[in-house]
Structure 1
Amino acid sequence: MTATRQDTVIFLGPSLERDAATDILNGCYLPPAEQGSVIAAVQRFSPRTIVLIDGSFASVPAVRHKELLWAISNGVQVIGAASIGALRAAELHEFGMAGHGFIYRWFRATIGADDDEVAVAMSPVEIGARPLSEALINIRMTLRSAALTGVICKDTQKSLVEVARALDFRDRTYQKMFEVVETTRSAHICRSLPRLAEWIVDHSINQKASDAQDLLTALSNRDPEVLPPSIKQPFRMTDAWLADLEAAGLRIGN
């Protein structure tokens, strides 16, 4: 397969609107990555840099750690942020993948942090891969801000986070969280919901979008601090990796 060489390939979906992203950084924007997407992008576009922000994972196999390591071993700068990109970067930092933003740092610092923190339901890629639910990390940040500004108390913040965390990621919205709280929590907590709901309209935090914007801005400004560490690990082929390639309809080498 041949294609015009692209210096930077960005896997982007529900974390940030495509128009907002392209206003910040020119590049080859692809839908959320899944198993095999990174290999296919390297083979098709020969990029210098791959930016992993969003990925698919529920209906298809998620982007594999091994294919990111393969790209790195082939001299590609691989950087992650905001969503599965932040998660994979936290997992592979010691092996040459760079990470950027609050969520990346949070995953690195938080032992036992769940992938579910950044998971959202999204519309089909054909109509923009837009978010259909709210990321738990965004809800956490929003409720923390509400508590710090006195909109809710600390106990209410903790209780609401517990409710949000218990929701399936596909159902996780502020409205659903409020509905569950109204039927399961104390009257004291319920009384704070109208004020919180009104406050959220103008003050909710979208940390995933902020991290994605920050990374794209840093790359646009050619900030050297966002580039991967100077680590190059030898790539080792495994039977599991070969099975992944076959499942994705791909091959590498001769």
Structure 2
Amino acid sequence: MADKPVIFLGPTLPRAQAAAILDAVYLPPAEQGSIVRAMRAYQPTAIILIDGSFGKVPAVRHKEILWALGNGVPVFGAASMGALRAAELAAFGMQGHGFIYRWYALTPLADDDEVAVAMCPSELGAAALSEALINIRLTLKRALRAGIINAVERRSLEVLARDTHFVDRSYPRLLAEARSSLPSKSATALDRLADWLPRSAIDRKREDATGLLAKLACCPELLAHAPTTPPFTLTEAWAYDLGAAGLWDDDIGSVLAERDRF
């Protein structure tokens, strides 16, 4: 039993930096079943979802977030998978924070790809191995405002970034592709951009994550506030997910059996 919040964190923010802001149990990026396991193992005061895994493993399910909320545990999200899930579940009591969360909440059909990055295995710290598209797009807008590139160059660079698979996105690769595909008259602008990026690139994901942790550290009462949520209903689909995650037990089976009597 932890009597602390549980935070799912990976490539968005180094764990040491996060722990210096908020005392919590830090776990690797969430996947299917992670929230259920954390609830059972730690009985946390709150769940804070920053990073999640997907692709090679099933992503963290909406239903397990609703289950945590239904058990009176506040759930917060920001920056990456947390921003996505918070935008999807705001109406059910999940609390989002930051620019990326607000952008997803206000942008129907926005791509999950905006925040996706490649990362090291969790055993090696889950550090980021690529750059998030949303960071690249915001950085290019800043470069335009700073006069580093012009509007045509910004649009061309953004198209190149969008057309690159998320595991391969990086500023060095983007610049290399731009040098081979943009007109030669853009070469000087690309040189300026290469010099400007190391000190001026935006990491909005990290800013949103640190913002949420700082907010919760300053206002601990938020962690103790039980959300008002609709009654939780166990479904066969979610029971199947629990089974696939190795979390099926007799208690869940008995609840389903009792439900099916009526």
Per the normalisation by structure 1, the TM-score is 0.94
Aligned length: 251
* Counterpart check, 1:188 vs 2:185: yes
Q: Give the corresponding residue for 1:49.
A: 46
Displacement of 1:230 in angstroms is: 4.6
Q: Give the corresponding residue for 1:78.
A: 75
* Counterpart check, 1:65 vs 2:62: yes
Are the equivalent residues in 2 in contact too, given 1:72–1:232 (CA < 8 A)?
Answer: yes
**Distance (Å, rounded) in 2 between the aligned partners of 1:225 and 1:190:** 51
Q: Deviations over 1:187-243 (max 9, x none)?
A: 233431111011001101110110000000000001667998953111122221111
**Distance (Å, rounded) in 2 between the aligned partners of 1:145 and 1:224:** 36
Output the amino acid matched with 1:32: P
Per the normalisation by structure 2, the TM-score is 0.91
Name structure 1 gaps, 5 residues minimum.
Answer: none
* Counterpart check, 1:15 vs 2:49: no
Q: Give the corresponding residue for 1:164.
A: 161
Name structure 2 gaps, 5 residues minimum.
Answer: 253-262
Output the amino acid matched with 2:150: C
Q: Deviations over 1:138-173 (max 9, x none)?
A: 101111111111111112111111110111000000
**Distance (Å, rounded) in 1 between the aligned partners of 2:197 and 2:246:** 45
SS in 1 for 2:76: strand
**Distance (Å, rounded) in 1 between the aligned partners of 2:189 and 2:206:** 27
* Counterpart check, 1:33 vs 2:49: no
Are the equivalent residues in 1 in contact too, given 2:2–2:25 (CA < 8 A)?
Answer: no
* Counterpart check, 1:221 vs 2:213: no
**Distance (Å, rounded) in 1 between the aligned partners of 2:187 and 2:67:** 51
**Distance (Å, rounded) in 1 between the aligned partners of 2:54 and 2:187:** 35
CA-based RMSD of the aligned residues comes to 1.7
SS in 2 for 1:5: coil
158 and 104 in structure 1: CA distance in 2 versus 1, 3 angstrom threshold: same
Q: Give the corresponding residue for 1:123.
A: 120
**Distance (Å, rounded) in 2 between the aligned partners of 1:111 and 1:26:** 35
* Counterpart check, 1:173 vs 2:170: yes
Output the amino acid matched with 2:180: T
Question: Which residue, out of 241, 244, 248, partners 1:247?
Answer: 244
